[in-house]
Structure 1
Amino acid sequence: MKRCFLTHFIAFLFTITFSLISESAAATNGPEMTIMTEMNPVKQSRHPMYKNGLDIIKHTELDYKVRSMPWNRAYRSAKTTNNAVIFPIYKIPNRKKDFHWVCPIASSRNMYLFRLASRQDLHINTFAQTSGKVIGVVKDSMLHQYILKHHQDSNFSLDSTVYDATNIDKLLNGRLDYIAQSEEQLIEYFKSNNLSHHLVKKELLIYDHTLYPMCMAISKGTAQESVAKIIASHHALFGRHDFSPQAINQGFESCH
């Protein structure tokens, strides 16, 4: 009987001790962070826009989980979820108040209109000349918002989808006149699908990379200690890093 009591007592002490250690570790690490991203954690694990953001979170030693989803859903989820971050994300004026910001985490990009090389009937010098044309863009993206804000008087139609790849497919199949996105995104798609760059031409610069920084955004419902750790980790890893864009050696031919 005494041996049985002693065994149960030791087991009880072990359980209490383990529980206290676990609670202490959780208190040290802070609440688990949820990473919202439109990028594929497997296929794009080495992409600077994803890797740099993940490296910052890892450096904090906070526990985390990654949720990959379409951009518009990732953005809405990050705004309404406590202890959450979203990256990559451009810091544009109407987003500033919704998050704590860590900038930059990667190089910003020039944004262009692209068209099929075979569409010799299309040739523009200004955005206003897109009147009557159909332009593909990612729904609720920074580029989508920029076009609506700065070019809403032009009589074009926007076809918004949740994935860049969908827009590119539509362009290649002749269902769009133009797509609006970065040259780097198009290069990545063409490379992964073994497509010739001669199929598409770069028609018009919408804006250049100096306009908005590429960032990580932290939800307002995130614990202040976690916010401080993320900011400190960004400074430690990238505080002196030059995020000027790298020259594109094998890009798409310009129409001009």
Structure 2
Amino acid sequence: MNYFLPLLIICQLSCAVQAQQLEVVTEHWPPFIVDTQPVSGSVTDKVRKILDYSGLDYQIKLYPWARSYHLGMTKPNVLLYSIFRTSVREANFHWFCPINEGVTINLYKLKGNSRNIDSLAAARNVLIGVMRDDHNHSYLMQQGFIEGVNLDISADEQINLRKLFNGRIDAVGLARESLTHRLAILGYAKEQLVKGLTLHRPAVTKHCMALSSGSDPAIIEKVSAGFRRWLNEQE
């Protein structure tokens, strides 16, 4: 009986981890993350490969960015992607970086809009549409921009684009890759826009996965093992 007891305990712990489902949350961010059933996209494919290697049971759910970020900040065993790794966010997650190369994020305005968006100083005099709690929102707030004065907050980038074309805001900050896809979805042409200031360059916008800080250590280790195996394949 004493011989089998340790084996029984190990089995019970292993089964408990396998039965515990990892909650994976993200946003619609084409072409990287696409709102289909099941969720697809170039970065989603990489996340699925990593998590399949982890051996964990998981389900990917799409929410507005602010909700996904809140879940990652407040619930254990929640994996969030794609997220940029910043000093403000660093201590709140277990990080797995990078899972995809970075992106360039620029300010864009309508071609007929004469307002200047070529510098931060000039951009303080226009109204910029940002998503609540995303990197653009956080960065511009750190630069002295003010909600309701020169920042207009919404739930997603497509809402911001609609506001831009309806003349309700002056500019939006978008990744170049995503801009093309979102314009196609909404029926707008890229030629209607003018590029202004570059807000973020690829060195600071690498795609990451982030696991909530209060997560089960066994789950953290399984995700880490899956990530290491996937990284080895990239070499």
Which bin holds the TM-score, normalised by the shorter protein? 0.7 to 0.9
TM-score, length-scaled by structure 2: 0.84
Q: Choose the corresponding residue for 2:66, options 46, 50, 72.
A: 72
**d(CA) in 2 for partners of 1:76, 1:126:** 31
- Offset of 1:122 from its aligned partner? 2.5
My pick for the range that moved more, 175-184 or 157-166, is 175-184
Within the alignment, does 1:38 sit opposite 2:32 as a pair? no
For residues 194-221 of structure 1, the C-alpha deviation after alignment (integer angstroms, 9 at most, x for no partner) is 4321111211111211124321001122
Query: Where does the alignment leave 5 or more consecutive residues of structure 2 unmatched?
Result: 1-10, 29-33
Alignment partner, residue 222 of structure 1: 215
Q: Distance in 2 between matches of 1:125 and 1:101?
A: 33
2:67 match: secondary structure: helix
Distance 1:106 1:118 in 2: 35
Match of 1:61 among 37, 55, 63: 55
* 2:191 paired residue number: 198
- Percent identity among equivalent residues? 23
Counterpart amino acid of residue 107 in structure 1: E
- Please say if 1:93 is aligned against 2:87: yes
The yes-or-no answer on 1:177 pairing with 2:181 is no
Mapped to 1, the partners of 2:122 and 2:70 lie a distance apart of 33
Higher radius of gyration, 1 or 2:
1
In terms of mean alpha carbon deviation, does 61-70 or 39-48 score higher? 39-48
Taking a change above 3 Å as real, the CA distance of residues 176 and 209 of structure 1, as seen in their structure-2 partners, is same
CA RMSD, 1 decimal: 2.5
SS of 2:25's partner is strand
Tell me how many residue pairs correspond in the alignment.
219
The one of 36, 43, 50 equivalent to 2:44 is: 50
Stretches of structure 1 lacking an aligned partner (at least 5 in a row): 1-21, 243-256
Distance 1:46 1:238, change over 3 A: farther
TM-score (norm 1): 0.77
CA distance in 1, matches of 2:20, 2:158: 35
Matched-pair contact (CA < 8 Å) for 1:78–1:84:
yes
Task: Answer whether contact 1:136 1:178 (CA < 8 A) is retained.
Answer: yes
Aligned with 1:217: secondary structure? Answer: strand
Cα-to-partner distance string for 1:206-244 (whole Å, 9 max, x where unaligned): 1211124321001122221221121121121234638xx
- For 1:44 and 1:187, how far apart are their aligned partners in 2? 22
What is the Cα deviation at residue 176 of structure 1? 1.0
